[in-house]
Chain A
Amino acid sequence: MPPVISPDKCLRCGLCADICPLEVFGCRPAKNEMPTVRYPDECWHCNVCALDCPAGAITLRHPISHMILHVDSPFLKNSGQGGPHAAD
């Protein structure tokens, strides 16, 4: 369920549903209704719903399947600046 809408903050304006490039909210909801994430598998995590929400009511939840694989910087590790995990 990538975009998470805060019901307390949502203005029910429907802007997110209108501008989502992937239409994950489906059609624009009826007036005064909060959008729902209708097609979560189609989210591209582009973040424009969160950027454009006039109330700042949307955050993106990034699925575990999309986790960013990372390690301590090899360069810093070799130069002795690798931080707490440098010895791993």
Chain B
Amino acid sequence: MSQKFKNIRRRNVHIEDIIEETLNVKTILFRDKFCQLAKPGQYVMIWIPGIDEIPMSISVRNRLSLSGVTVEQVGEATEELFKKTLGDIIGIRGPFGNWFQPNTGNVALVSGGTGIASLFPLIETLIKTSAKIVAVLGFKSLKEIIFLNRIRKLLSDKRYHRIIVTTEDGSYGQKGLATDVVSSLLKKETFKMIYTCGPELMMRRVFDLAEESRTHIQVCLERIIRCSVGLCGSCFIGEYRVCKEGLVLSSEQLRQVKDEFGTFKRDFNGVKMHFKTTH
């Protein structure tokens, strides 16, 4: 039992490198053999001693044998993580969860904000399966753009791949929302699969568009995660435990939970928190 479940044991790693992506987004890199073998879409639990333990998608695998997570400063735990520097120790467990299923042929990736960090390992996998990739990357503004150069490098072959960047204020790329681009793309072409990660309301819109055009989709969800091994029940959406049966849910699964997806998630005490529509 212990051998098989070794990755769920907590271990300490040193921060070996830090990439400053933007003013409040950093990628923190460490050495861990389990994370190096992580599948695209999997996450780790990061422990900041004395503060909290939080789930983070693995955004980097095997960069000079380092793995990493991309952290946006949003709360107490991420703020503390932000203060960490090279050589500091953090605790990790994982990788946990299922993963994106790669597809061949024409596929689309749709991200909102830092959601692109969770999709990045998938791009690395997809270019090996000779997929034709359209990457639609939505950001609020120019100064929040991350991962673009790395993605350009991966998708440099313009015969197959396209990158479309949108910003809400028009400070870079197309002005507007990533979902507007998806809507017009789906009118013109067909995709074997859409992969998306970002704010839940954005993903719900992408799901609805995909359903209208009968396109398969895989969505990377976020819920409150505590145990990460499918025990505590903090992360349920419908009958699915996001920590274990997610983070990635398929079209079939999303149809089962369509009353919850994009409508509410549960707080630490299990109380429903409704998503606020801002657009």
Q: Do A and B come from one complex?
A: no
Interface residues of B (CB under 8 A from A): none
Interface residues of A (CB under 8 A from B): none
